[in-house]
Each structure stands twice: as structure tokens, then as C-alpha cells.
Amino acid sequence: MPRQLGDLEDAVMTRVWQWNRPVTVREVLEDLQQERSIAYTTVMTVMDNLHQKGWVRREVDGRAYRYTAVSTRAAYAAALMNEAWSKSDNPAAALVAFFGMMSPEQRTSLVDAVRMVRADRPEDADDADGAHVEEETPSEAPAEAASEQPVEGADDPSGTGR
């Protein structure tokens, strides 16, 4: 399971993910230098470390390497969320708390994601007892669709449900 990227690793990977093509150390350096003072060797070391950790693959191009992301930023974010969730002693409570922190836009994205997963895997439309789970309507709370239970106190920062 991946550990969270450091600040400089994240800055480098952000460029690799955004550009979505093989990149050189020089290209990343020049873009980073618009924000901060940084040495070529520092960027080269970070990119080599990312290669050693399996975040990027590289191919020789003349006297340089071209680096390509091994996975997407979305996959990285999902892996971090999954790791954090799996470490909880109460995963259901962690999800309820997480859903309660979401903005309305994030909740809409969550509902969309649940619909996509259900469309890809129709067997997931049935719950553990084999009963059909009804599709949510636009008037339902997004957290209900994801957890299949109302999220009591989702708007209550104290978490007491009151």
C-alpha cells in the first residue's frame, strides 16, 4: 500500500500526471522553477526515487530518461483513502464521519461513483441478504446512497447527531 507522497514528490508527480506523457527531468525542473528555486540534481534525485518506489517507469532517450506515471492520481488518492479506512477500528463510523465532512459537490461525486460501480457490476445492486437495493432518487441524500443508511448528524460538526 502506498505511503503519502512528500511535498516535492507530489509536486513532481502532479506534473507527470497532468502532462500525461513521458517527461524529462529538465521539463519538470523548468516548470518547478516557476514556483521555487530548485536544482536540477534535486529534481533528478526525486524522479529517481519515484522510479525506485514504483511511481514512475523510465525509458532511455539519448542521454536522458523519459518518465511516465505508472498509475493515475485518482488511483493514488483511492489507495490512500482505502489504507486510512482499513486502519479504522470501526470502518462504518469512519465512513459516516467522512461523508459528514464532504461538501455538496463531493457528495454528488460520491453518488455518481456509486452509480458507475453499480453499472459496471450489477451483482452489487443486491445487498448481502440477496434483496434488491433500490436506486437512489435525486431527492435522496448522497450519503444514504453510499452507505445505504441515513447519515445522522452529517451536518453536525460535534458528531453527536443532535
What is the pTM for the complete model shown?
A: 0.64
Asked if 41 and 26 count as a contact pair (C-beta separation under 8 A), the reply is no
In this predicted structure, what is the pLDDT of residue 142? 39
pLDDT digits (tens, 9 = 90+) for 16-55: 999 999 999 999 999 999 999 999 999 999 999 999 999 9
The whole-angstrom separation of Cα 48 and Cα 45 is 5
pLDDT digits (tens, 9 = 90+) for 60-75: 999 999 999 999 999 9
**Per-residue confidence band for 4, with pLDDT thresholds at 50, 70 and 90:** confident
